[in-house]
Structure 1
Amino acid sequence: MEAVTAIKPLIRVAALSGSLRKTSFHTGLLRAAIDLTKESVPGLQIEYIDISPLPLINTDLEVNGTYPPVVEAFRQKILEADSILFASPEYNFSVSAPLKNALDWASRPPNVWADKPAAIISTGGGFGGGRSQYHLRQIGVFLDLHFINKPEFTLNAFQPPQKFDAEGNLVDEVTKERLKQVLLSLQAFTLRLQGK
């Protein structure tokens, strides 16, 4: 007799990188997360959302309760997602300007971040982007985002062994396993908040 395995509902994750650099390690983390979901995290579907086309937030661009088309499209992607995965670099002990801009656009009425489960991953030198995570969590309180608490994911990208290749792709297997644990936690937390 074959064992019956429960099929988890599909969770759609919007993934945002706060770094716009072509060979960004943060975007590389998101590519690795997408690959991991295809290989070993069934029920999780990650879509990378490019925030580089968003104009700087300016309420003069809001006309009769509508936003520029690129902003409307971005807001719709966030609204349709079940949860959010932030790859947040640390700039001057805080979140990057592009990420803050995206957060601000999607928070305009109605706030499309509200009640979304979320996770944060960061890399860099020293503390591995940890201070940006603290600020993002503070911002998330106002936005009604619900972050997973564990596992935390900060990564010193410059300590051996090599973590990324020249194109910004994650190559370290131990780090991939850590990233997988974040994805599994986000999946479980999302299902719990959805009551499934």
Structure 2
Amino acid sequence: MEATVVTANAKPLVKVAALCGSVRRGSYNRGLIRSAIEMSKGPINGLEIEDVDITGLPMLNTDMEGEGSFPPVVEAFRHKIREADSVLFASPEYNYSVSAPLKNAIDWASRPPNVWADKAAAIVSASGGSGGARSQYHLRQIGVFLDLHFINKPELFINSHHPPGKFDKNGDLIDAQTRENLKKVLLSLQTFTLRLQGR
């Protein structure tokens, strides 16, 4: 039997479910998730980030629930959240709040048993005006009921309109300072998750 070699710098694996609140193909928030996944495969050790698609979820309707069961697409989504150690939300701001697709996903996963409970979480956002600050604070309020534990610092609000040049035409994050700020959010989420789990 071969011995498993663990390097001195290795960290326990933290599995992160990443949710984008925008279903638009060129969404800057989806670009943030792509950058986060890229960082998890390179400069950040011990972080595994999966982009969890919410576009196929039906609108919440409890008539669709069976006896302890949900539609298959909802069951699959809930399983992804349940198996994750923590959650990364990329939340645009729609009308001073979170987007309808994101709130719908949150509500489905909160149906008993609530699969969000006792997980660490972080939020990043790219939007006009305040950069999504109001959506982040609304999401934190929702998280109180869900029993989600958000990191407090650092915060990342990206005004996606001014100054220009932070994202390319495909919605990919190209600004070096913003990428560094995103990395700091991910490292904070990783550290907080391990602390919350006592690892």
Alignment TM class, shorter chain as reference: over 0.9
Q: Which residue of 1 aligns with 2:165?
A: 162
- Which of 174, 178, 181 is the matching residue for 2:181? 178
CA distance in 2, matches of 1:160, 1:144: 36
Q: Which residue of 2 aligns with 1:17?
A: 20
Letter in 1 for 2:123: I
RMSD value over aligned CA atoms?
0.8
Letter in 1 for 2:19: L
CA distance in 2, matches of 1:161, 1:19: 20
- Paired residues in the alignment total 193
Matching of residues 109-124 of structure 1 within 5 Å? 109-124=112-127
Q: Percent identity between the aligned chains? A: 67
- Flag structure 2 segments of 5+ consecutive residues without an equivalent: 1-6
CA distance in 2, matches of 1:161, 1:143: 36
Letter in 2 for 1:155: I
CA distance in 2, matches of 1:72, 1:158: 37
- Which of 168, 181, 192 is the matching residue for 1:189? 192
Counterpart secondary structure, 1:12: strand
1:8 paired to 2:11: yes
Instruction: Tell whether the 8 Å contact from 1:19 to 1:96 is kept in structure 2 after alignment.
Output: yes
Counterpart secondary structure, 2:15: strand
TM value normalised by structure 1: 0.97
Q: Which residue of 2 aligns with 1:58?
A: 61
Instruction: Tell whether the 8 Å contact from 1:161 to 1:172 is kept in structure 2 after alignment.
Output: no
Residue 161 of structure 1, CA deviation:
4.8
CA distance in 1, matches of 2:33, 2:81: 16
Residue 5 of structure 1, CA deviation:
2.3
- Which of 76, 79, 82 is the matching residue for 2:82? 79
- Flag structure 1 segments of 5+ consecutive residues without an equivalent: none
Where does structure 1 differ by over 4 angstroms across 4 or more consecutive aligned residues? Answer: none
Instruction: Tell whether the 8 Å contact from 1:83 to 1:116 is kept in structure 2 after alignment.
Output: yes
1:29 paired to 2:32: yes
TM value normalised by structure 2: 0.95
Residue 67 of structure 1, CA deviation:
0.2
- Which of 128, 132, 137 is the matching residue for 1:134? 137
